[in-house]
Structure 1
Amino acid sequence: MRRLNFILIFIAILMIVLLARIYFLSIKSNTYYEELSKQNYIKRVYIAPSRGIIEDRNGIPLAINNLGFSITIKPHLRSYKNKDKLLEIIDFITKHFPEYDKDELLKKYKRLDSAYKHDYVQLIDYIAYDDFFSKFTLFNSIEDIKVEPAVKRYYPYHNIASHVIGYVGKSSKKDIEENELSKYSGIVGKNGLEKYYNKKLQGELGYKDVKVNALNKELEILEEKKPKEDNTLKTTIDIELQKYIQDNFNHKSGAVIVMNAQNGELLAAASFPEYDNNIFVGGITQKEWDAMRNSFDHPFTNKLVNGLYPPGSVHKMGVALALLENGIQPDYTVYCNGELQIGNRKFRCWKTTGHGTVNFRKALRESCDDFFYKASLKVGISKIANTLEKYGFGQETGVDQINEFIGVNPSKEWKKERYNQPWYIGETVITSIGQGYTLVTPMQVARYTAFLATGKLPKPHFYKDNYEEPVEIPTKPRYLRIIRNGMYDVANEELGTASKHIKSKIKIAAKTGTAQVISIPQSEKKRMKESELEYYHRSHAWLNTYGPFDDPQYVVVALVEHGGHGGSAAGPMVTKIYNKLHELGYIKK
């Protein structure tokens, strides 16, 4: 009986195993092989969306897609049997478009073709619509040539706002690894807004599932999903204002920023010299590349966020607030005789005869260095640096541009970490007037100027969806009044350092800055005039402003590299910008 039970159990187990195998072969494997079969005759073709248009705040296009055509030819024409046919096709293309080299096209075909390739080989990725349209029927009638629609990125304003807008380029292997869609579109944002908002601008892939035969010929579309193209980027830029600034920037290099002081919207922002973004879309020549790369004016550098400069005297309002916040009384005065002796070194005021008795307001109006030398020694670098950090020095502004630099807000701790050296008293003195280790970007200065005007730090931005509520910085109103009155005097009082050069319809507040790029030897008894220096040894000229004074609406910051004095170098241009803001209706008064 026991043996019979054992036999029955064995038979039952055997039956279960057989049934499981039958199930796997007839049902599970069928599903598997059916999927393999589908791959043999159903092909998924991905469809890249058209790249989104970039517009200014009024809907004027800043980056568009020009329509054209691409030429692709049948694969596997390299064989001995088809060799003549391949040569005929390339001869035909170069006959109608002689600008293309026959040998180069042949090399490209051989490089892209392979025994395993079933898709057509793209020989020419873009020919403009107007150039090709009259020949469309002729090309389309040849069996081994396929003509398809193509687009090419185009920047209608060429070199205007080029650093901000950025450009696209062909997708590299690294781009494709990081962004699969760029494999199908063939392009990716490389700089500026094109790169920062690449994900939005490129949209989402579509596809279609196509039934094909053994020869890879399309028989039927089984399913199709349109690409998502809700990808227009409307910026805060006013291209008319931007163009006006470009037309009136009569200097070699520098930067200009126009920002809404209340919410951080950037109406215009230019880094000079600009360049034509279109040269990168089709591929820049080696000659063009070398000329731009070797220029002392650094056209490739986006000076708005990647240019690092000593702030010079535009730093003094922040230092003045740091002094007031840390115990220096509002009625504090010093007597300026033109220099401060510390040890064996003399720290000179820009006015060699001195300014006499100086208080906070006069120190800002006439940009007295000696006032800040002496007051900074009473407070010390640590407290000054900590206060300046609150105003955005040594911090990212958060602007929607790539690789923003943070600059340097020096302190004892910073120097110890960076150089493993102690801090010296003389370094406090030169830091107090925006020299020494201190480095800023023009965008940081614009943001900090908005704080001086409103008491809040806004986030600069070119795209409205990137807005963040401005951060209120606790500061005593009477301290800000002292700073604002000093800035008012700079632009409007007789002894103000910019009053001779600012003649705007709008009453504005301002501060000039002269940032040295070379040190002046102690043996130099009399400071040379900027005009007497070699061009690249001249100081950088700053002018940061806000207006209207009694109702701050906009910040205008100008930096002129090697411009000398901020008032004379930038004052007339800043005046024109405020008048233009009034003309365009941004400033109502």
Structure 2
Amino acid sequence: MKIKILITLFIIIWIGLIVRVFHLAVQSNDYYESLSENNSIKSELTAPVRGEILDRNNEPVAINELGFKIAFAPHLTKGKDRTLLDKEIAYLRTMIPTLDADKIAKTYIQEDSYYNHSFIDVVDFISHETIIPLYSILNLRGTVKISPSPKRLYPYGLVGAHLIGYVAKANQKEIDADSSLKLLGHVGKNGIEKYYNGYLQGVAGERRIKVNAHNVEIEEIGRSATQENHNLVLNLDMRLQNFITQAFEKRVGTIIVMDIHGAIYAAGSYPEYDLNTFVSGISPEEWNALMTSVDSPFTNKMINGLYPPGSTIKNNMGLLYITSGVWNENTTIMSTGSMRLGNRTFRDWKKNGHGATNITKAIVESCDDYFYQGSLQVGIDRMSNGIFRMGLGKKTGIDLPNEFIGTVPSRAWKREKFHKPWFQGETLNTSIGQGDLLVTPMQIAQQTALMATGLLPVPHIAKMIGNTPNTPVPLDVLTPQEKAKLPIIQNAMRGVCNEPGGTARAYVSTRFPIAGKTGTAQTTGISQTVKNRLNEKDMEYLKRSHAWFTTYGPADNPQFIVTVMVEHGGHGGEATGGIVSSIYNKLDELGYIKKPKPASDTASVQVTP
């Protein structure tokens, strides 16, 4: 019996061994063959060249400077032994003495490990002129690898910085979100560079090679090309962009020049900063200076600056008033210079008032009394709902990252945010663009286009994405009644710049009539005990009002929007009228203003059959 049991166990063991051998030799053959192939075949990714950015005249705005990067072979360190690494660094510095040995060593040691079998980048960029005489010598050294590495260059430096943006080294969070950045190294961090980063950076190519056990290449067995040179053409004209930068010199604020369809021809947030300082890495001192400056040069004021719109909101409010069913274009109030509500006096900017005032005069002369009284008749709900429908309190849709939405105050907004009731005094403040109403300059430019054409355009900087035109569809946001009465507001805006009493008339000197609205947005409350206001020029700088002037032109044939906001600039027209005028005249000089043809040119011509 014992012999039978032993024989049975012996047979079972042998059957098990035979099954295992069969599994390893036959059934697992594909698995181990694949594993063997992976050990002998490597993939090398090829970084694509980042697409260039051009203005509408094909002038380069962001280009790639030709250069190279240097990498060392892995395993040049063994524990704390840096002998081989130091030897390679010393050799490299005999060729290029300006290289930083400590930086190279630190970069290499961070990446070197027993498990890493790839070359380690130690120098990100060396210019073409420097490396070419040394290329063949360095390439003969098996421990050194030279490969192309273009560097982003911004020919215009600081001009248009907040629109164009910049590229810089990708951080770990960005690499985790997009694995291709481990290869590319750099990523768009701001502006157009960031918004269109996925398109501009292209797609990496792949090279498959066979290597031996010593990681030495034997042959190339396959290759896929990079998808690169994804160029982007902008609506910007850098001649105009240069011009507005010079026109705004030593001021803080923003300029937006946009056609009525939303194409941005020039725009700036001031002060600006040099984009090239970010490509190779900005110093802590430079970064702190940007971040702590009282003028906030790193903030894109066009879309991230939140300001009270002041009297620029009166165009929208006026249109809502005369279509409310409560007031109309013939409603006239008596402006005395102030309005009493409870225990508070709401004052007009004009001490003795404007006298009998209808909607046209209220906009031309910027009469606060008219809007105070009208707001109590129309009510905050209709006012806030109306301007929200017209596009305030939401993104304009511009092709820039991180756009702010601003604030449109209302009963529901205050209840949700502060858990407090709404007061009538807040309605009066909102009616003249003060209080909690906050907008971005881009929103005001968009609103001005709405007043000029009856449609709300989507601002856009990119003109062509590859071979595809970028033409966002404007939004139809006005009611039929508002469209019917819009000419009343347009006529008043024309009067602002051209009629006696117009708040901008004394400051406008354009070659053709324009239409617009000034705004003087207070940044500091004025005590009720103050009887006579200080002149803006006599106030401390940070207590002065923000100066607005938003316009369209020509007045009778709208083509362009020009919006200017000067932080703490004082009176809207006085601080901005000269800048706005010079921009329209420059647009005309550059041939962008299309004038009606003389009657003789458009007369019909009889053709004899």
TM-score computed with the length of structure 2 as normaliser:
0.91
Match among 518, 528, 544 for residue 524 of structure 2: 518
The answer to whether the Cα contact below 8 Å between 2:161 and 2:272 also exists between their aligned partners in 1 is yes
Give 1:134 shift.
Answer: 2.8
Q: Which residue of 1 aligns with 2:576?
A: 570
Q: The residue matched to 2:391 in structure 1 has which SS? A: coil
Q: Determine the C-alpha separation between the residues in 2 that align with 1:312 and 1:274.
A: 25
Q: Which residue of 1 aligns with 2:323?
A: 325
Q: Determine the C-alpha separation between the residues in 2 that align with 1:568 and 1:19.
A: 98
Greater mean alpha carbon deviation, residues 554-563 or residues 243-252: 243-252
Percent identity of the aligned residues? Answer: 46
Residue 492 of structure 2 corresponds to residue 468 of structure 1: no
The answer to whether the Cα contact below 8 Å between 1:312 and 1:434 also exists between their aligned partners in 2 is yes
Match among 257, 262, 265 for residue 264 of structure 1: 262
Q: Determine the C-alpha separation between the residues in 2 that align with 1:250 and 1:121.
A: 46
Q: Determine the C-alpha separation between the residues in 2 that align with 1:253 and 1:346.
A: 32
Q: Which residue of 2 aligns with 1:10?
A: none
Q: Determine the C-alpha separation between the residues in 1 that align with 2:32 and 2:250.
A: 71
Deviations 1:376-415 (A, max 9, x none): 1111100111111121111111111111111011111111
Give 1:172 shift.
Answer: 1.3
Residue 358 of structure 2 corresponds to residue 359 of structure 1: yes
Paired amino acid for 1:467: T
How many equivalent pairs are there? 573
Give 1:149 shift.
Answer: 1.4
Q: How does 1:69-88 map to 2 (within 5 A)?
A: 69-79=68-78, 83-88=82-87
Paired amino acid for 1:277: L
The answer to whether the Cα contact below 8 Å between 1:395 and 1:407 also exists between their aligned partners in 2 is yes
Q: Determine the C-alpha separation between the residues in 2 that align with 1:374 and 1:470.
A: 33
Match among 493, 512, 526 for residue 487 of structure 1: 493
Give 1:188 shift.
Answer: 1.0
Give 1:253 shift.
Answer: 1.1
Give 1:80 shift.
Answer: 8.5
Give 1:23 shift.
Answer: 7.8
Give 1:353 shift.
Answer: 1.5
Q: The residue matched to 2:398 in structure 1 has which SS? A: coil
Q: Determine the C-alpha separation between the residues in 1 that align with 2:52 and 2:390.
A: 35
Give 1:143 shift.
Answer: 3.3
Give 1:21 shift.
Answer: 7.9
Q: Determine the C-alpha separation between the residues in 2 that align with 1:33 and 1:499.
A: 85
Q: How does 1:56-135 map to 2 (within 5 A)?
A: 56-79=55-78, 83-135=82-134
Paired amino acid for 1:588: K
Q: Which residue of 1 aligns with 2:309?
A: 311
Greater mean alpha carbon deviation, residues 45-54 or residues 464-473: 464-473
Q: Which residue of 2 aligns with 1:161?
A: 160
Paired amino acid for 2:354: H
Give 1:109 shift.
Answer: 2.1
The answer to whether the Cα contact below 8 Å between 2:235 and 2:461 also exists between their aligned partners in 1 is yes
Question: What is the RMSD computed on CA atoms of the aligned residues?
Answer: 2.0
Gaps of at least 5 residues in structure 2 are 1-15, 464-468, 596-609
Q: Determine the C-alpha separation between the residues in 2 that align with 1:250 and 1:351.
A: 31
Give 1:475 shift.
Answer: 4.1
Deviations 1:190-221 (A, max 9, x none): 11111111110111121011011111111111
Paired amino acid for 1:446: A
Paired amino acid for 2:105: L
Residue 180 of structure 2 corresponds to residue 186 of structure 1: no
Paired amino acid for 2:335: C
The answer to whether the Cα contact below 8 Å between 1:251 and 1:560 also exists between their aligned partners in 2 is no
Paired amino acid for 1:544: T
Q: Determine the C-alpha separation between the residues in 2 that align with 1:182 and 1:586.
A: 41
The answer to whether the Cα contact below 8 Å between 1:365 and 1:497 also exists between their aligned partners in 2 is yes
Q: Which residue of 2 aligns with 1:579?
A: 585
Q: Determine the C-alpha separation between the residues in 1 that align with 2:278 and 2:272.
A: 13
Q: Which residue of 1 aligns with 2:176?
A: 177
Q: Judging changes above 3 Å, is the alpha-carbon distance between structure 1 residues 221 and 315 closer, same or farther for their aligned structure 2 residues?
A: same
Q: Determine the C-alpha separation between the residues in 2 that align with 1:456 and 1:265.
A: 14
TM-score computed with the length of structure 1 as normaliser:
0.94
Q: Determine the C-alpha separation between the residues in 1 that align with 2:82 and 2:443.
A: 62
Q: Which residue of 2 aligns with 1:290?
A: 288
Match among 518, 532, 535 for residue 529 of structure 1: 535
Greater mean alpha carbon deviation, residues 89-98 or residues 272-281: 89-98
The answer to whether the Cα contact below 8 Å between 1:490 and 1:498 also exists between their aligned partners in 2 is yes
Q: Judging changes above 3 Å, is the alpha-carbon distance between structure 1 residues 205 and 143 closer, same or farther for their aligned structure 2 residues?
A: closer
Residue 144 of structure 2 corresponds to residue 145 of structure 1: yes
The answer to whether the Cα contact below 8 Å between 2:49 and 2:229 also exists between their aligned partners in 1 is no
Give 1:322 shift.
Answer: 1.2
Q: Which residue of 1 aligns with 2:342?
A: 343
Q: Determine the C-alpha separation between the residues in 1 that align with 2:243 and 2:456.
A: 27
Deviations 1:44-80 (A, max 9, x none): 1111211111111121111111111111122212239
Greater mean alpha carbon deviation, residues 303-312 or residues 20-29: 20-29
Deviations 1:12-34 (A, max 9, x none): xxxxx999988855554221111
Q: Which residue of 1 aligns with 2:11?
A: none
Q: The residue matched to 2:577 in structure 1 has which SS? A: helix
Q: Which residue of 1 aligns with 2:8?
A: none
Q: Judging changes above 3 Å, is the alpha-carbon distance between structure 1 residues 80 and 514 closer, same or farther for their aligned structure 2 residues?
A: closer
Paired amino acid for 2:262: G
Paired amino acid for 2:285: K
Q: Determine the C-alpha separation between the residues in 2 that align with 1:169 and 1:84.
A: 33
Deviations 1:493-546 (A, max 9, x none): 121111111110121101100011111111111111111111111110000000
Residue 421 of structure 2 corresponds to residue 422 of structure 1: yes
Residue 550 of structure 2 corresponds to residue 544 of structure 1: yes
Q: Determine the C-alpha separation between the residues in 1 that align with 2:131 and 2:375.
A: 70
Q: Determine the C-alpha separation between the residues in 1 that align with 2:250 and 2:376.
A: 37
Q: The residue matched to 1:321 in structure 2 has which SS? A: helix
Q: Judging changes above 3 Å, is the alpha-carbon distance between structure 1 residues 46 and 238 closer, same or farther for their aligned structure 2 residues?
A: same
Deviations 1:82-119 (A, max 9, x none): 84443232123334434333233223222221122211
Give 1:132 shift.
Answer: 2.7
Deviations 1:521-576 (A, max 9, x none): 11111111111111111110000000111111111111111111111111111111
Give 1:474 shift.
Answer: 2.4
Gaps of at least 5 residues in structure 1 are 1-16
Give 1:478 shift.
Answer: 4.4
Deviations 1:142-201 (A, max 9, x none): 332222111111111111111111111111111111112111101111111111111101
The answer to whether the Cα contact below 8 Å between 1:252 and 1:297 also exists between their aligned partners in 2 is no
Q: Judging changes above 3 Å, is the alpha-carbon distance between structure 1 residues 27 and 450 closer, same or farther for their aligned structure 2 residues?
A: farther
Q: How does 1:196-275 map to 2 (within 5 A)?
A: 196-261=195-260, 263-275=261-273
Q: Determine the C-alpha separation between the residues in 2 that align with 1:81 and 1:139.
A: 26
The answer to whether the Cα contact below 8 Å between 1:558 and 1:574 also exists between their aligned partners in 2 is yes
Greater mean alpha carbon deviation, residues 242-251 or residues 218-227: 242-251
Q: Judging changes above 3 Å, is the alpha-carbon distance between structure 1 residues 475 and 496 closer, same or farther for their aligned structure 2 residues?
A: farther
Q: Which residue of 2 aligns with 1:12?
A: none
Q: The residue matched to 2:506 in structure 1 has which SS? A: coil
Q: The residue matched to 2:525 in structure 1 has which SS? A: coil
Q: Determine the C-alpha separation between the residues in 2 that align with 1:228 and 1:496.
A: 56
Q: Determine the C-alpha separation between the residues in 2 that align with 1:260 and 1:20.
A: 79
Q: The residue matched to 2:319 in structure 1 has which SS? A: helix
Deviations 1:459-487 (A, max 9, x none): 11112354322122224344211111111
